[in-house]
């Protein structure tokens, strides 16, 4: 009881601090200098109508490389932490309840559509809201649905690992190519910028989006699979 | 407008912190942390919002020449995209450790883990 009161008191104090922040908050009238630079140079520097994708993939591309590395580390640590609690190879899913006809049939219909939507979101990342991370998460949701519909199913760990390392390696190579023939690491100028707003434009951004999408999709799928395989049936 | 979004985000942060500090069950603590995480994301996006402007995507509605006057700040949006993905990774890690702890004690009650208690 006393614990709850103390916690409530602390949270209330923090709430007062937040309240002063909210009450005194005035939204800016102008973009700050960084944002104004990005807005003014989205067309001539990266050629991507979606400025957020331009920032993530090109201007701050190194941070994005770091981010997918963090994700890779997460999936590796999860696999390591859960590796001792894996179900024995012979007893995979013996105790699972069958998933039911609705889910099985629905999965067969919906998973191709989910994959298509994921590919669409990845490919249009530089034109509309979307990109590698969002599309990769959609792809992984397709993998999750497959796992739910067929609890005994096992994806090939080696396939996922290969997709992941191949896309990660290509990502770094594209970045190095930017240093060689364009303005710097992960510069998208290694390919022509093309017509502003077209599907294949903005230099290397669609290519990098595809790589990020594959990598994120593979990492999320491997996390899901690691969590899934722990079930002690 | 921005104040409403900010207040919503702050309330979610507070609710998440309160839940994480008062719940005994590890799964509930993880849920509370994800709620606080969502609150942080909402606050970040709300700070980037400028009244009367539109999304930072250059199309027919936002000509390139006027982009600086028409769009909201794209930087917080890029940051939040990163934060969401990393938040998902952290949640997955917490769930994996929760599973390990469950295997250890056959319980998810935090009060059964007394090794680090003082």
Residue B10's domain is classified under what CATH number?
1.10.287.3510
Q: Which residue of A has its CA nearest to B79?
A: A56
Mean per-residue pLDDT over chain A, rounded: 82
pLDDT tens track for A60-93? 888 888 888 888 888 888 888 887 665 555 555 5
What would the pLDDT profile of B82-114 be if each residue is shown by its tens digit? 898 889 889 989 988 888 888 878 888 888 888
Task: Check B10 against A22: CB less than 8 A apart.
Answer: yes
Position B44 in a domain:
yes
Q: Any CB–CB contact under 8 A between A51 and chain B?
A: yes
Those residues whose C-beta lies under 8 Å from the C-beta of residue A98, and which sit 6 or more positions away, are none
Q: Is residue B118 part of a domain?
A: no
* Nearest residue, CB atoms, A55 vs list B10, B13, B74: B74
Q: Do A51 and B3 touch (CB under 8 A)?
A: no
Residue B56, in any domain of the structure: no
B100/A56 touch (CB, cutoff 8 Å), yes or no: no
pLDDT at residue A36 in the model: 82
Residue B77 structural domain: 2-51+68-112
- A36 CB neighbours in chain B (<8 A) are 68
Q: Where are the alpha helices (DSSP H) in chain A?
A: 2-23, 33-41, 51-54, 61-82, 101-123, 132-149, 157-181, 205-229
Q: Do B68 and A43 touch (CB under 8 A)?
A: no
Task: Give per-residue pLDDT as tens, B13-31.
Answer: 999 999 988 888 899 999 9
- The number of domains in chain A is 1
Which region among A44-48, A101-105, A228-232, B112-116 has the lowest average model confidence (pLDDT)? A228-232
Contact across the interface for B82 and A3, Cβ inside 8 Å: no
Contact B10 A55 (CB under 8 A): no
With contact defined as beta carbons under 8 Å apart, do A211 and A188 qualify?
Answer: no
Question: How much is the pLDDT for A231?
Answer: 62
In a domain, B101, yes or no: yes
Report how far residue A213's alpha carbon sits from residue A222's, in angstroms, rounded to the nearest whole number: 14
For the stretch B31-65, pLDDT in tens is 999 999 999 999 998 888 888 888 888 877 777 77
pTM above 0.90, yes or no: no
Cβ pair B85:A216 closer than 8 A: yes
Residues 6 or more apart from B10 whose CB is under 8 A from it? A15, A18, A19, A21, A22, B39, B43
Q: Which of B39, B50, B51 is nearest to B80 (CA)?
A: B39
Number of structural domains in chain B: 1
Of A185-199, A213-227, B2-16, B68-82, minimum mean pLDDT range? A185-199
Q: How far apart are CA A177 and CA B111, in angstroms?
A: 54
CA closest to B78 among chain A residues: A52
Q: CB B86 to CB A226 under 8 A?
A: no
For A215-225, the pLDDT digits (tens) are 888 888 888 88
**Angle, helices B74-105/B26-47, rounded to nearest 10 degrees:** 180
Q: What is the pLDDT of residues A134-161, one digit of tens each?
A: 888 898 898 888 888 877 777 777 888 8
Q: How far is B50 from chain A (nearest CA, A)?
A: 6
Of B7, B73, B95, the CB nearest to A35: B73
Percent of chain A with pLDDT over 70: 93
CA distance A43 to B64: 7
Instruction: Tell me how far apart the alpha carbons of residues B94 and A52 are, in angstroms, rounded to a whole number.
Output: 29
For residue A150, the distance in angstroms to the closest alpha carbon of chain B comes to 21
Nearest-angstrom CA–CA distance, A209 and A132: 5
> What is the predicted ipTM?
0.80
Q: Domain for residue B61, yes or no?
A: no
Residues linked to residue B71 through DSSP beta bridges, in sequence order:
B54
User: Residues of B with CB below 8 A from A10's CB?
Assistant: 21
Contact A14 B82 (CB under 8 A): no
Whole-number Å distance between alpha carbons of A79 and A172? 24
Q: Which of residues 12-71 of B touch A (CB under 8 A)?
A: 13-14, 17-18, 21-22, 49-51, 55-59, 64, 67-68, 71
List the Cα angle B99/B19/B30 in 5-degree steps: 25
- Residue A47 structural domain: 2-229
**pLDDT for residue B41:** 93
Query: Which tokens in the block code for residue B83?
Result: 């934060």
The answer to whether residue B59 sits within a structural domain is no
């Amino acid at each position: 009881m006393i614990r709850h009161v103390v916690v409530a008191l602390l949270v209330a104090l923090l709430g007062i601090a937040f309240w002063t922040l909210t009450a005194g908050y005035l939204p800016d009238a102008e973009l700050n200098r960084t944002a104004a630079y990005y807005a003014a140079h989205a067309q001539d520097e990266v050629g991507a109508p979606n400025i957020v994708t331009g920032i993530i993939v090109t201007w701050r591309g190194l941070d994005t490389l770091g981010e997918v590395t963090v994700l890779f580390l997460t999936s590796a640590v999860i696999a390591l932490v859960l590796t001792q609690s894996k179900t024995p190879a012979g007893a995979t899913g013996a105790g699972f309840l069958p998933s039911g006809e609705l889910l099985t049939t629905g999965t067969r219909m919906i998973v191709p559509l989910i994959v298509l939507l994921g590919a669409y979101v990845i490919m249009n990342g530089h034109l509309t809201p979307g990109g590698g991370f969002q599309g990769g998460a959609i792809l992984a949701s397709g993998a999750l649905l497959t796992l739910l519909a067929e609890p005994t199913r096992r994806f090939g760990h080696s396939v996922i690992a290969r997709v992941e390392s191949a896309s990660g390696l290509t990502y770094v190579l594209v970045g190095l190519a930017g240093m060689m023939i364009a303005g710097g690491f992960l510069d998208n100028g290694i390919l022509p910028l093309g017509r502003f707003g077209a599907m294949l434009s903005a230099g290397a951004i669609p290519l990098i989006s595809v790589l990020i999408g594959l990598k994120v999709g593979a990492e999320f799928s491997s996390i899901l699979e690691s969590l899934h395989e722990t079930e002690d049936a | 407008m921005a104040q409403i979004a900010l207040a919503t985000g702050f309330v979610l942060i507070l609710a998440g912190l309160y839940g994480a500090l008062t719940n005994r069950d590890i799964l509930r603590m993880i849920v509370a942390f994800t709620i606080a995480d969502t609150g942080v994301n909402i606050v970040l996006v709300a700070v980037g919002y400028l009244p009367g402007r539109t999304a930072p995507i250059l199309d027919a509605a936002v000509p390139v020449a006027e982009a600086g006057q028409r769009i909201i700040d794209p930087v917080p949006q890029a940051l939040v995209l990163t934060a969401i993905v990393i938040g998902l990774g952290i949640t997955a890690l917490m769930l994996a450790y929760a599973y390990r702890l469950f295997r250890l004690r056959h319980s998810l009650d935090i009060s059964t883990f007394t090794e680090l208690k003082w």
